[in-house]
Structure 1
Amino acid sequence: MKAYLRKFHIYWLQHFALVWLVTNIFNLVNYAYKLSIWGPMTLNTDGTPITLWQMFVIHNFQKPDYLYLLLFTFLVELNYRYTFKRYNLAIFVGVAIIVAAIGTATSLYLSTNGFQNKYPTNLFEPWTAAAIYAVFYGLIREFFYQRLYRLKVRVERSETELNSLKQQLNPHFLFNTLNYLYGTALQEKAERTAEGIDMVAAMMRYTVAGVQETFVPLNEEIQFIRNYISLQKLRLPAGTAQQVKINIDVPDSAIQIAPMLLLPFIENAFKYGISNDQASTIEVDVGLHENSLGAIITNTIAQGAPHVKGTRSGIDTCKKRLELLYPESHTLKIMPTPTSYSVNLLISLKQ
């Protein structure tokens, strides 16, 4: 939440600075043009014409124009961030009209010292101009945001494909080798080994095919997670004190998801949550409610166990992908304690 508010303040101040700069340039150019055409129309007390610098000082220090710009850009930015992103276009336009009315009234109040002086009776033109600006600001900004978003997705996809190709040594050769090992394990009646090899082959096929796609069917992603967890459980010795509690309730649907978003968190749980000499617990709870996918992944941390070093690159990459693919439509909470590590992820998916 703090990061979101910080980002909002940055965008608001950048918006204000740009509008302030354009407004001042327009005022100065307009005043210089009038000076060149009609000569000085506003004089100092000593009879000398008001200079461009004096006009700049008047607009920014003697008149509270910047206060109006601060408020107006804040309301416009707020309308875009909270209304445009969450509601339909009609509501956004309606709120933009209200924002324009507030901005126009504020400008009038500041320029007339609280409505005590004479003020213009025709407020339709400034109100209309402010409303048009508020609407088109949101539309134009969203247009460029979507273009940038699609570009980032393509770049992210290209980088993922490149990294995948670097890490894969002839997948077909590996698949053939796994098939050979699977057949050998069946001949030797090593059913657990054969089951593990079969799951590894299925996971590899999914990773090779899934990395080529930006989104994959949610059912395939869930099956991949089931295979991974089953494979991890196979390596636990019988009668072990480790407990792995799995609750995955995701019905069949046409919903799609970016591939391998949950895997880094589950990998992290098995990497740090399994101890050979102490009781430990891993809990994975994944559920789908309407179009919202929720995942809670918790693992205990063994006391006194040697620290396992990790680069956290998988978790960091997953955070970046969530920000890129599901901006403002996901929440991620990571809650580490001395004895446990918990991840709570909620993603709003689309059909």
Structure 2
Amino acid sequence: MRKELFAPLLIHMFMMWLILNINHMMPYLMSYHGETTVVNGILMSGWNNFIRFNFSVPNIYHIIICVFVYAPAVEFTYWFVFRKYSLLLSIVASFLFAFILALVISPSWDFYNYSINGLVSVFYVACYFIIYSTARLYIYKRLLKKDIQLGKSESELSALKAQINPHFLFNTLNYLYGTAISEKAEKTSKSVEILSEMMRYTISSAKENFVELKNELKFIKNYTYLQQVRLPEMNAIEMDIETGNTENYYKIPPLLILPFIENAFKYGISVDNSYSIKILIKIIGDELKMSVKNTIRKENLEIKGNNTGIANAKRRLDLLYEGKYSLVCAQNNDIYEVNLNIKLN
């Protein structure tokens, strides 16, 4: 079980146990005089009362049911129902789980006679499921919104640091483009034009949480082209994008998948030796599937870097597509492969 699932479960179980003890101790504390008080005709101290509640057979069963059955069931409902499906479906699931728990815990309950106490218990348990999960989901969305806003602010700051004086830079690129055209340097002029377009895109997209998928894919194509023209073996780089024009209907966070492609060029290319990079992007239904394969050049492994681009991409995926994406990175001999699937809706 992942840490983010396991830690809240333990906290929830502890809080459930604590609430049960507080609820049990309240009548004792209300009637407390001196060091001991009378509970059910028996003179006992607070510690004896605590031991009696937590270790007597009927109470142990009640504690086990609440701490080790109810709490995990509520956590399961929150993580795998409330965070993935509609509120109505989640409410229905809560009542269904509460009903199943009642059957498991009290198999002798006469459902056919519609026991009022049993139905009330199911209702209370289901309401706890709903209230707890709704509150957790609300807090999660508030925190997620703050994280997205923070990430957006950091992206805007990075863009501002990088652009310095964008008008001067773009004017210079336009001058170089015009000079290359006049000198009939077609490859150079095209590269300058693409570089200018990419820079405009990075600056404009930094202001958005989501951009049109077609624009993001065009940026990826331009990036790959600029990598190709600077390398001696253009045929060693293969790129295939299959969308069937569906990219017009979807949006994606800007520069989300670029780090995985950048990584392939960073560690896979070589000026002196053979190499291979294969990039395949497909849109199937509402799912984006990307596969990136590259050879691993040993000399490139010595390149210093902390992989912040990949780490940030994974964090953005967790924040924006939790439960809606899969990422598998694997190395087989000298081949490194990344497979990323994202459900865009």
TM-score (norm 1): 0.87
- How far residue 56 of structure 1 moved from its aligned partner, in angstroms, is 1.9
Q: Secondary structure at the match of 2:239?
A: strand
1:72 aligns with 2:70: yes
What is the letter of the counterpart of residue 99 of structure 2?
A: A
Q: Secondary structure at the match of 1:123?
A: helix
Match of 1:295 in 2: 290
Amino acid at match of 2:134: L
- Give the RMSD, CA atoms, in angstroms: 2.4
The amino acid across from 1:7 in the alignment is: E
The one of 78, 81, 86 aligned to 1:88:
86
Query: What is the CA–CA distance in structure 2 between the aligned matches of 1:306 and 1:29, rounded to whole Å?
Result: 64
2: CA distance, partners of 1:31 / 1:204: 71
Within-5 A mapping of 1:1-351: 3=2, 6-33=3-30, 40-44=38-42, 49-62=43-56, 63-64=59-60, 65-68=62-65, 69-104=67-102, 122-237=117-232, 240=233, 243-250=236-243, 251=245, 252-302=247-297, 307-350=302-345
Following superposition, the deviation at residue 273 of structure 1 comes to 1.1
Structure 1 unpaired stretches of 5+: none
**Identity of paired residues, percent?**
34
Tell me how far apart the structure 2 counterparts of residues 134 and 345 of structure 1 sit (CA, whole Å). 34
What amino acid is aligned across from residue 296 of structure 1 in structure 2?
A: S
TM-score by length of 2: 0.88
Q: Which has the higher helix share?
A: 2
CA shift digits 1:231-276 (9 cap, x unpaired) = 1111123xx3861111111224231100001111111111211122
CA distance 1:226–1:257, change in 2 (3 Å): same
Quick check: 1:242–1:280 contact (8 Å CA) kept in 2? no
Q: 1:97 to 1:305 in 2, by over 3 A?
A: closer
**Alpha-carbon contact 1:104-1:130 (below 8 Å) kept:** no
Q: Is the 8 A contact 1:329 1:347 kept in 2?
A: yes
2:228 and 2:237 in contact (8 A); partners too: yes
Please say if residues 210 and 251 of structure 2, whose CA atoms lie closer than 8 Å, have aligned partners that are also in contact: yes
Paired residues of 1:246 and 1:283 also in contact (CA < 8 A): yes
**Offset of 1:334 from its aligned partner?**
1.1
Find the residue that maps to 2:95 and give its secondary structure.
helix
Kindly state the Cα deviation for residue 308 of structure 1 after the two structures are TM-superposed: 2.6
Secondary structure of 1:40's aligned partner: strand
The Cα shift of 1:182 comes to 0.4
2:292–2:338: 8 Å Cα contact kept in structure 1?
yes
